[in-house]
Structure 1
């Protein structure tokens, strides 16, 4: 599979790139700061430096790909439109070049699924970030593409297990966290198959 990863130098993005290369995929890693990718030379890896807010650059890198994975995240907790603007560009590029499969990592909470006191606190603290993830989700919902949205609970730096729970209704009962490596595994699985197409999936152990 040939895929482009936007936000490839972030915590989840790096895991996606590494796992994809290990699986034999051809990967284009789209980054703003290549030094943050922390990966050496690999024959299956192409590193592209650019701004995902630039529509023309995004369209260019989507051409010829089989799938897109978007791991772009917010730079803080304030008001933002970063994720939805990037998603708009990705959708436009995919439509122009006939690429149909896209996996996007958002966050648990975008559908108001976090309950109780802890949920209230998280919804307040992350309200601007969650609102923009929701806008990105709504763009995908109307796109006509084969999309999957990941909604992970609290992220950790533990190693990949391949064993986690998922649900398209809320979040896994009692689940508290999931590693970035396992979120990456879910994104790659979704990009390579139809199992989660058209679904917004809560993830946790």
Structure 2
């Protein structure tokens, strides 16, 4: 699990451990994340943008989940670099399943039109979304052996405090229609979707919208 210290990552680690999986939780500085330590969880230092680090840390694993981000590096540099390192490192380690956390602003508001290209989209947020598009491009061009999926939650804040319900629904590359009174999608339920896809893949080499069930 890369990006194990973030909001999505912490919950995905907990969800996987809850199901009895042996989890390698990768962060930049393990000393900063004592709360990740639990039965079945090994916390290690690693660099998701480094091919050798990815290969060494993923060897012997069945699947990899990535929720990695680095706000100290421009998004259009970090996300493609991480995608390249993951694609190459997983090829080296022989791991074929990759489940990644995406961002809802890359989903289509109309056929062929991502939300970040629509009129009125805040320009200060467009660069971050474009970075995620660069990540997708890398994986789309990767060898067929890499069975990746990117789960993109709604383009709103997610509920960081809500308890796990275990309910969610998925779509395609377009924004999922949500009722006006729909609750915020919970990180805890995003974690369920991530681990489900790692355990029993339903989507392959695709960007997939995910939202409250």
Compute the TM-score of the two structures, normalised by the length of structure 2. Answer: 0.84
- Give, in whole Å, the separation in 1 of the partners of 2:20 and 2:122: 39
Q: What is the deviation of 1:189?
A: 0.6
Structure with the largest fraction of strand: 1
Q: What is the deviation of 1:166?
A: 1.6
Question: Which structure 2 residues correspond to residues 5-44 of structure 1 after superposition, within 5 A?
Answer: 5-39=1-35, 41-44=37-40
What residue in structure 2 maps to residue 55 of structure 1?
Answer: 51
Are 1:109 and 1:123, in contact at CA under 8 Å, matched by a contact in 2?
A: no
Question: Which structure 2 residues correspond to residues 1-205 of structure 1 after superposition, within 5 A?
Answer: 5-39=1-35, 41-75=37-71, 79-113=75-109, 120-122=119-121, 124-143=123-142, 144=144, 145-153=146-154, 154=156, 155-157=158-160, 158-174=162-178, 177-205=184-212
Moved more, 15-24 or 158-167: 158-167
Are 1:107 and 1:133, in contact at CA under 8 Å, matched by a contact in 2?
A: yes
Unaligned runs of 5+ in 2: none
Q: What is the deviation of 1:105?
A: 0.6
Unaligned runs of 5+ in 1: none
Q: What is the deviation of 1:125?
A: 3.2
Q: CA RMSD in A?
A: 2.4
Are 1:77 and 1:129, in contact at CA under 8 Å, matched by a contact in 2?
A: no
186 and 36 in structure 1: CA distance in 2 versus 1, 3 angstrom threshold: farther
